[in-house]
Structure 1
Amino acid sequence: MNQIKRESDFVKEKSAQKQTNQKNNTDKKEKVYRQCKAILKNGKRCSRKAQEGSDYCWQHQNKNKD
């Protein structure tokens, strides 16, 4: 009987750890930065980070509007 109790305690503990990990993962929403899609005069791609909600950085955002 003690062995069964220990196993159930182990299962409960693992379940609690899993729930804690899931909560921590949702709290840690990392921003994903994309590279600007602009092509420079020298033919290379701009190395800046794209603005949030855009494909272009602050400098190229207005130059690439359709």
Structure 2
Amino acid sequence: MPRPGSHGYDIKRAHLRKRLENTGAAADEEADREANRRLQRDPKYAPERQSERGRGPKGER
């Protein structure tokens, strides 16, 4: 799943923002913030936990 800040996440956010603007669910200036809030609440887009290896040798501190 795309994570916040990735290209895939930005595409999903842009599509959702456009849908919110077209349906009138959010004002144009609020649509971007609302799209971002909705995607971040979705558990599919939650940041993945780093593995033990990803934390490196000083990760246990």
Taking structure 2 as the reference length, what is the TM-score of the superposition? 0.32
TM-score computed with the length of structure 1 as normaliser: 0.30
Higher RCO (CA-CA < 8 Å; seq separation 6+): 2
Larger radius of gyration: 1
